[in-house]
Structure 1
Amino acid sequence: MLTRRALLAAAIEATTGSTLTDPLLRWLDLGQNGLAAVDPASRSGRINLGAVNAVERAIQHCVASDTAVGGGLSREAALGQLKWAVDLLDESSYDGETGNRMLAAIAKLSGEIGYMSHDAGMNGPAQRYFVYGLQAARESTDERAPLVVVAILGDMVRQLRTLGDLAGAERLIEVALAQLPNDQAFHSVRAMLWSVKGRVLAGMGASRSTEACAAIDLAFELSADATSVQPPEWLGSVFYYLGEPELRSHASDAYLDLAPHRPELAAKAEAQAVDALHGWDIAFVRERGYSLIDLTRARFAQGELEQACNDGRSAIEMTAQVPSSMRLRAYLSTLESESAPYRGEKAVDEFRDELRLALV
């Protein structure tokens, strides 16, 4: 199923609510069987750690491309890598350790294809790849596999939030937190999950605002604590976005959702967006685009019209550099509604004209 590209790229509808979460919860807690060693006499090829390392390096290259140009272009290369890795596992012999590490790498790659598909606006196929990645990770006994499960669940939460299924997103983020080993070495991951939870809670409105802000605060506390314990050296190959810029990006987005109910949070959103923008590495073009849009939204919310229009133009330019990210383009379109209250102001009207042209 992982390599049946025609089926997985077809017009599949994304599932939300308990139809999605209930089956996941049933089998995520099942025991890991793992891959048994395959006798070299039974197959012509042989997988060694060099082949596994090649797949892991390929994932990093695909992710780097995804952050630079968007998921629409990057997913095709990643699909080719996935087919190669799955065929190799199916046709080769291996010892148990190598086979299970390869399965964990395949799970990670499938999850990344899910995220790329989501970024390209293909939410049905995205969800299929997420689920297949979870299934592969759950079957692997490699030490990376439980963290791959957490990473994929975190990306599924982001997708459900975008689709408006906040209850399902909250349920899955709780599952992700429960799956994470209770070890301070993983506090950077725990911080990321709490920041994502803050975004989800903020989307639920005023009734969850206190919880949302507490979740964001806890995320920063956990991130500060994470520096005192060295994480496993392989953690960076499972999570590519850990660190302050991501936390600040989630925080600015959460505060913006809450600002209509608590106007004082618009200033906090602005500060977090500025710090996120300055913190992202230059290679993270898409993420810098999101931070620019957040900054523009925050400045419109505070009536800083000239600066909002300038930042909005920068956001338009940055979005144009990520041609195959449909999510970034959709987020840019929110600036139409953010700027609408100020129609009639010359600078805003000019910006809105530029925005409409960019979105054609």
Structure 2
Amino acid sequence: MGTGSRRNTALAHWVGAAQVSYGALAKELRAAAAVAGHHDVHPERSRITRWINDGEQPRPPVPELLAATLTRLCRLPRPLTPADLGFHGKPRTPALSGGWQPQAVVASILTTTRSDAVTDDTTPTTVPLLSGPDLLHAVQPWLHLPDAELPDPTRPGRLGMSDVIAIQRTTDAFRTLDNAHGGGLSRRAVVGQLHHVTELATHGRTSDEVGRALFAAVADLASVAGWMTHDVGRHAEAQHYFFLGLQAAKQAGPSGAGIAGHLLNCLARQANHLGREEDALDLVQAAQYGTRKLPPGRLRALLATLEARCHAVLGRLPESRRALGVADDALAADNPDTTPTWAAWFDTAEHHVTVGVCELIAAHHDPARAPRAVEMIQSGTAHRPAERTRSRAFDHIALARAYARCGELEAADQATATALDHFGNVTSTRVADRFRELDHELATNPATKAAAETRDRIRAALTPTSGDG
């Protein structure tokens, strides 16, 4: 038996969900092993204890038997896998070269979505949250691996471009729901749709072009699943969905470059949210390199503004200003008639708010930049579509921070109140995180009645009520 160095929280979770003692589970496992003909498998209670408390990794066929036993005891609609129980010989990472072949990509997405369907938000993650060199290593194959030929279908069927277009429209509908209500309400439905659409990649198709387009659609849907998962605060799983989407985009060939760039943008924005600006900058620059042959437009603009934000956080203000100039030029060259739906969110409103946030960050180094931050964020909020509820909450939090930086605490309180109104209509841990940052910043300001009232509003909104469970 291999030994581990830490508690297996995933296995502990599922044993708890089964509501059985370690001794009772050992008895169930012995019975299952006997039925399967594995008469040499006879664990005792102490062995279960070591698997959980010490992180021991049992040898096959025990992980498979234990997964089947816990699936039955928990009465789950889909089977658990050894990975769901935290059993990995080595930490799983999407960086393995074999994972970039079409069949492997399909298998990875189906396994991930199937596992996700039997878990809830209390289930410990079984995938690592990558950072630093590991994160860059995981995305490098997209840049350097040659495009693979799509395999012959393994199932009967006849998929055409009309089917791909219908999938894209469904993805757009989910994206609209996410923007309006946050990721919490629709995430499960998107995961189920991703599973279904990925299965279609094994069916017959009318042409290679359709097959490539289907993988691009899978990549786009994975980006929405990842973003919703990020929005509910499950960051390791979200990152994993983004990786899977990037691998699917690779199967789309040259036509998948745009959606791949968007997925790297998602990974970078997640890294930024987690305070890993160097990682975010590396990811943005990888995306810029991989999409350098695409015509200028919104993708180039949104990547440039994210680069500018990273530079601003790192105190590189001239580089930030240069990147914002690139974004201005790229957005001016955009053709709205050819803008893909996954890039449509980066409109003039988003651009202005992002410039304002860059100015706000720069104001930490140069306080004279704060009024410009207020001006640009106000301009963005004035043009923000009403249905973009979550974005409007972010806008007003940023505006409150900019007002506070300018010393206009009553205006900051009004902006916070508006943000809280929008927050009441979305399910998003990311918005809550931004409110906590605002609260922290207000705590560093002079103690005034306006600042105290604003902080009271924030803390009241972030405090769970007795009915929240």
- TM-score calculated relative to the size of structure 1: 0.91
Aligned partner of 2:437 among 312, 316, 334:
334
Please list, as runs of the form range in 1=range in 2, the aligned pairs for 1:97-176 lying within 5 A after superposition. 97-141=209-253, 143=255, 145-176=256-287
Does the alignment pair 1:352 with 2:455?
yes
Counterpart residue identity of residue 267, structure 1: P
Task: Please name the residue that 2:342 is paired with.
Answer: 238
| 3-state secondary structure, aligned to 1:355 | helix
Partner residue in 2 for 1:16: 131
Aligned residue in 1 for 2:418? 314
**Pair 1:217-2:217 in alignment:** no
Query: Quick one: distance in 1 between partners of 2:220 and 2:355?
Result: 26
Partner Cα distance (1:105, 1:292) in 2: 33
Deviation, structure 1 residue 237: 2.5
What is the percent sequence identity of the aligned residues?
28
Which amino acid is 1:24 matched to? V
Match of 1:189 in 2: 299
| Code of the aligned partner of 1:2 | I
Once the two structures are TM-superposed, the CA of residue 73 in structure 1 deviates from its matched residue by 1.8
Following the alignment from structure 1 to structure 2, what is the Cα–Cα distance between the partners of residues 36 and 344?
66
* Secondary structure of the structure 2 residue equivalent to 1:159: helix
Distance 2:247 2:148 in 1: 12
**C-alpha distance after superposition, 1:266-297 (max 9, x if no partner):** 11111111011112111111111111011100
Shift of 1:220: 1.6
1:290–1:214 distance in 2 versus 1, CA, 3 Å:
same
Change (3 A) 1:346 1:232: closer
Is 2:78 the counterpart of 1:78?
Answer: no
Contact residue 159 and residue 203 of structure 2 kept, 8 A: no
Cα drift, residue 346 of structure 1: 2.0
Q: Which residue of 1 aligns with 2:9?
A: none
Structure 1 residue matching 2:309: 3-state secondary structure: helix
2:391 paired residue number = 287
1:47 aligns with 2:159: yes
**CA 232–176 in structure 1, closer or farther in 2 if over 3 Å, else same:** farther
Contact 2:296 2:330 in 1 (8 A): no
Q: What is the Cα deviation at residue 89 of structure 1?
A: 2.0
Assess, with a 3 A threshold, how the Cα gap between structure 1 residues 259 and 82 changes in structure 2: closer, same or farther: same
Paired amino acid for 2:346? L
Secondary structure of 2:109 counterpart: coil
Q: Any conservation in 2 of the 1:37–1:99 contact (CA below 8 Å)? A: no
2:290 pairs with 1:179: yes
Question: Which residue identity lines up with residue 341 of structure 2 in the other structure?
Answer: S
Structure 2 Cα separation of the partners of residues 94 and 27 of structure 1 = 26
Please list every run of 5 or more consecutive structure 1 residues that lacks an aligned counterpart in the other structure.
none
Equivalent-residue separation in structure 2 for 1:78 and 1:297 (angstroms): 33
Q: Report the structure number with the largest CA radius of gyration.
A: 2
Distance 1:142 1:101, change over 3 A: farther
* SS of residue paired to 1:44: strand
Which of 259, 264, 281 aligns to 2:368? It is: 264
Q: Output the CA distance in 2 between the equivalents of 1:174 and 1:75.
A: 29
For each residue in 1:2-50, what CA deviation from the matched residue of structure 2 results, as whole angstroms up to 9, or x when unmatched? 1333545651341111011023214432111242564xxx633221222
1:28 and 2:28 are equivalent in the alignment: no
Give the unaligned 5+ runs of structure 2: 1-107, 464-469
User: What corresponds to 1:298 in structure 2?
Assistant: 402
Deviations 1:170-189 (A, max 9, x none): 11111111111435x43322
Residue 221 of structure 1 aligns to which amino acid in structure 2?
Answer: D
Secondary structure, aligned partner of 1:3: helix
Q: Give the number of equivalent residue pairs.
A: 348
Mapped partners of 1:283, 1:350: distance in 2:
28
Give how far 1:232 is off.
Answer: 6.5
- Is 1:247 the counterpart of 2:351? The answer is yes
Amino acid at match of 2:247: Q
Question: What CA distance in whole angstroms lies between the structure 2 residues aligned with 1:325 and 1:91?
Answer: 36
Report if the CA contact (8 A) 2:143-2:290 is conserved: no
Amino acid corresponding to residue 350 of structure 2 in structure 1: E
Change (3 A) 1:122 1:243: same
Equivalence for 1:69: 181
Going from structure 1 to structure 2, the CA distance change for 1:251 and 1:316 (only over 3 Å counts) comes to: same
In structure 2, how many angstroms separate the alpha carbons of the residues matched to 1:6 and 1:282? 35
The alpha carbon displacement at 1:350 in A equals 2.0
Distance in 2, matches of 1:201 and 1:244, equals 21
TM-score normalized by the length of structure 2: 0.70
| Contact 1:256/1:265 (8 A) holds in 2 | yes
1:201 is aligned to 2:277: no
Distance 1:49 1:358, change over 3 A: same
Query: Does the Cα contact within 8 Å between 1:37 and 1:96 map onto a contact in 2?
Result: no
**Are residues 359 and 334 of structure 1, via their aligned partners in 2, closer, same or farther at CA, if it must alter by over 3 Å?**
same
